[in-house]
């Protein structure tokens, strides 16, 4: 992946040379590779593919909006935090679904993902004109681009619900692009992931870590299926089944994918849960898709924050003013709620997931931490041992775990709950016993709401702070999400309550509505 990061830097220079002002273009270009003489060779295609991957690490082009941190703030697992209500007020508003359409983070989440879509569309168009001696390699690049396009579109669909579906590069005059129906977007996501599932390699070499495999595509398709089934149909009112072209993605299809990943992928659970989140243990056997971050970047800075290759969630999540040989200070965003701390207190994963300041006798400055609870997200809290040597606030080398084998097992348990209780229990037990020990007696699942409650509790314990909780809440409906988020808000100095009028969505950025000449319609509740 080091090679991939290096090539990404080259692509940014190429983009810079082709996308700046007239005055800049009249000067000698920084590089002799421009679009007119690019997209000629398979190596050019690889560099263009790397440019799509590079967008995965963007977190702060407009405001600060790391994906996992934003999702935690939206849920009942974390408040917004920071130093005060004026420190990233858009994140404070996000905590109660009351964002202004003009908020930076609202635009940043939108713009970054559409930048990824644009780069994917560009490669998919240009690659057909590139001569490949190895057609298998060409197909792999196409499958990776489609996987990444699906990944970006799924997040756009989750955050905004009603979005334009753009499958080609646009000219500057293409402004009036209407929103597609959510069903259309979901079907395109499924079609891209199904193609990737069929055409991506099962394994990557050690210097390709971070690239998508068929298991990543299959696992992501399972996640999309469950969200389409729970939120898409029950909240957005989608009436049709999920389709990948002519193929209907049924529950049987998804169960088959889950079983294939469990039985033949070579992935498995890391024996020690704590080892999963030690920053030095990247790309473990449990990791199915993981966004690569590194401190090896000297060109990302405050003027080009998306140019940094580090994980911004880390510096944003640390307690302020820490005095410790182990922990480094941070900006005190996403303080863990009392709700999550109370539910986890008797779970063995508590001390791995939550930094309990009182329990660890931590000296810091609680008075400088807004919405302070005494708890931080330990999985991403900055550690002195991994403090970057350059641009220390920008380049923390903690990877973001997007899809883990444990999630495959718990999605499988949920899917099989209504037709194969024995298999559901088996998949559930593997996750539970990793946490509690091989001799532990897991709670018994049933084909009922009580069985689903057990799985959802396990998901909250297993994935605390990893950005999945909010979407799990929405999968069970707006009433369920409101009940859980409002209950957690009791201990908050801010009114972080759920607003069902928004249907759990963010507003469409006002600048995009204006740019579309009001073709785009604002989401309800804003």
Q: What is the pLDDT of residues 463-522, one digit of tens each?
A: 999 999 999 999 999 999 999 999 998 766 677 889 999 999 999 999 999 999 999 999
- What confidence score (pLDDT) does residue 408 get? 99
d(CA 484, CA 468): 14
Q: What is the 3-state secondary structure (H, E, C) of 225-261?
A: HHHHHHHHHHCCCCCCCCEECCEECCHHHHHHHHHHH
Q: Read off the pLDDT of residues 17-54 as tens digits, 9 standing for 90 and up.
A: 333 333 333 344 445 667 778 999 999 999 999 999 99
- What confidence score (pLDDT) does residue 304 get? 80
Instruction: Read off the pLDDT of each residue in 246-275 and give the average, rounded to a whole number.
Output: 98
- What confidence score (pLDDT) does residue 213 get? 98
- What confidence score (pLDDT) does residue 484 get? 96
445 to each of 53, 68, 452, 473, how far by Cα in Å?
39, 29, 8, 19
d(CA 521, CA 526): 11
Residue 436 pLDDT > 90, yes or no?
yes
Nearest to 94 by CA among 508, 505, 392, 474: 505
- What confidence score (pLDDT) does residue 308 get? 84
Q: What is the pTM of this model?
A: 0.93
Q: Are 339 and 263 in contact (CB under 8 A)?
A: no
Residue 366 pLDDT > 70, yes or no?
yes
Instruction: Read off the pLDDT of each residue in 124-129 and give the average, rounded to a whole number.
Output: 97
Average per-residue pLDDT in the chain? 92
Structure tokens at 158: 């989750």
Residue 424 pLDDT > 90, yes or no?
yes
Q: Are strands 243-244 and 247-248 parallel, antiparallel or unpaired?
A: antiparallel
Nearest to 243 by CA among 196, 192, 200: 192
Structure tokens at 58: 């963007």
Instruction: Read off the pLDDT of each residue in 322-350 and give the average, rounded to a whole number.
Output: 97
C-beta contacts of 27-31 below 8 A and 24+ residues apart: none
In percent, the amount of the chain with pLDDT more than 70 equals 92
- What confidence score (pLDDT) does residue 299 get? 63
How many beta carbons lie within 10 A of that of residue 340, not counting itself? Answer: 26
* 3-state DSSP assignment of residue 408: helix
d(CA 353, CA 462): 9
Select the more confidently predicted residue: 20 or 202: 202
d(CA 313, CA 171): 34
Instruction: Read off the pLDDT of each residue in 217-242 and give the average, rounded to a whole number.
Output: 98
265 to each of 45, 204, 215, 451, how far by Cα in Å?
28, 12, 7, 28
- What confidence score (pLDDT) does residue 251 get? 98
Q: Are 159 and 210 in contact (CB under 8 A)?
A: no
d(CA 108, CA 59): 8
Q: Read off the pLDDT of residues 56-88 as tens digits, 9 standing for 90 and up.
A: 999 988 899 999 999 999 999 999 999 999 999
- What confidence score (pLDDT) does residue 305 get? 83
Instruction: Read off the pLDDT of each residue in 278-284 and give the average, rounded to a whole number.
Output: 96
d(CA 49, CA 338): 43
End-to-end CA gap in the chain: 41
**Alpha-carbon radius of gyration of the chain:** 22
d(CA 285, CA 52): 25
Q: Please name the residue that has the structure tokens 């398979």.
A: 42
Instruction: Read off the pLDDT of each residue in 370-388 and give the average, rounded to a whole number.
Output: 95
d(CA 394, CA 313): 10
Q: Are strands 354-356 and 243-244 parallel, antiparallel or unpaired?
A: unpaired
Q: Read off the pLDDT of residues 289-313 as tens digits, 9 standing for 90 and up.
A: 999 998 876 666 777 888 888 999 9
C-beta contacts of 517-520 below 8 A and 24+ residues apart: 517/175, 517/176, 519/175, 519/176, 519/177, 519/178, 520/164, 520/178, 520/179
Residue 3 pLDDT > 70, yes or no?
no
């Amino acid at each position: 992946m080091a090679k991939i990061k290096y090539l990404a830097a080259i692509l940014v220079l190429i983009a810079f040379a082709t996308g700046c002002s007239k005055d800049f273009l009249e000067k000698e270009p920084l590089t002799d590779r421009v679009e007119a003489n690019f997209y000629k060779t398979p190596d050019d295609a690889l560099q263009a593919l790397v440019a799509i991957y590079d967008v995965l690490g963007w977190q702060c082009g407009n405001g600060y909006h790391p994906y996992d941190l934003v999702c935690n703030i939206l849920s009942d697992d974390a408040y917004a935090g920071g130093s005060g209500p004026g420190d990233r007020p858009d994140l404070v508003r996000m905590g109660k679904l009351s964002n202004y359409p003009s908020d930076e983070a609202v635009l940043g989440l939108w713009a970054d993902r559409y930048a990824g879509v644009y780069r994917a569309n560009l490669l998919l168009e240009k690659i057909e004109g590139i001569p490949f001696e190895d057609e298998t390699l060409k197909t792999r690049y196409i499958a990776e681009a489609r996987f990444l396009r699906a990944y970006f579109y799924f997040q756009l669909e989750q955050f905004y619900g009603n979005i334009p579906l753009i499958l080609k590069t646009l000219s500057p005059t293409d402004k009036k692009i209407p929103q597609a129906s959510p069903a259309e977007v979901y079907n395109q996501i499924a079609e891209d992931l199904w193609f990737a599932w069929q055409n991506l390699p099962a394994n990557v070499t050690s210097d390709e870590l971070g690239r998508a495999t068929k298991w990543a595509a299959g696992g992501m398709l399972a996640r999309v299926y469950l969200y389409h089934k729970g939120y898409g149909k029950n909240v957005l009112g989608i009436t049709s089944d999920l389709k990948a072209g002519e193929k209907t993605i049924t529950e049987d299809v998804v169960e088959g994918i889950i079983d294939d990943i469990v039985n033949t992928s070579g992935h498995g659970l890391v024996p020690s849960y704590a080892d999963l989140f030690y920053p030095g243990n990247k790309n473990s056997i449990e990791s199915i898709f993981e966004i690569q971050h590194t401190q090896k970047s000297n060109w990302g800075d405050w003027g080009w924050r998306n140019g940094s290759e580090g994980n911004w969630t880390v510096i944003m999540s640390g307690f302020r003013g820490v005095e410790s040989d182990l922990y480094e200070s941070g900006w005190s965003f996403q303080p863990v709620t009392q709700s999550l701390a109370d539910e986890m207190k008797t779970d063995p994963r508590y001390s791995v997931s939550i930094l309990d300041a009182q329990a660890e006798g931590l000296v810091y400055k609680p008075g400088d931490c807004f919405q302070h609870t005494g708890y931080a997200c330990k999985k991403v809290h900055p550690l002195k041992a991994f403090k970057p040597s350059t641009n220390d606030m920008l380049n923390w080398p903690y990877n973001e775990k997007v899809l883990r084998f444990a999630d495959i097992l718990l999605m499988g348990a949920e899917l099989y709950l209504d037709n194969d209780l024995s298999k559901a229990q088996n998949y559930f037990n593997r996750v539970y016993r990793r946490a509690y020990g091989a001799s532990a007696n897991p709670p018994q699942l049933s084909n009922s709401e009580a069985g689903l409650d057990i799985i959802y509790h396990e998901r909250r314990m297993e994935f605390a702070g990893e950005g999945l909780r909010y979407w799990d809440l929405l999968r069970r409906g707006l009433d369920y999400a409101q009940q859980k988020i409002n209950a957690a808000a009791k201990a908050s100095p801010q009114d972080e309550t759920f607003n069902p009028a928004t249907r759990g969505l963010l507003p469409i950025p006002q600048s995009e509505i204006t740019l579309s000449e009001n073709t785009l319609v604002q989401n309800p509740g804003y």
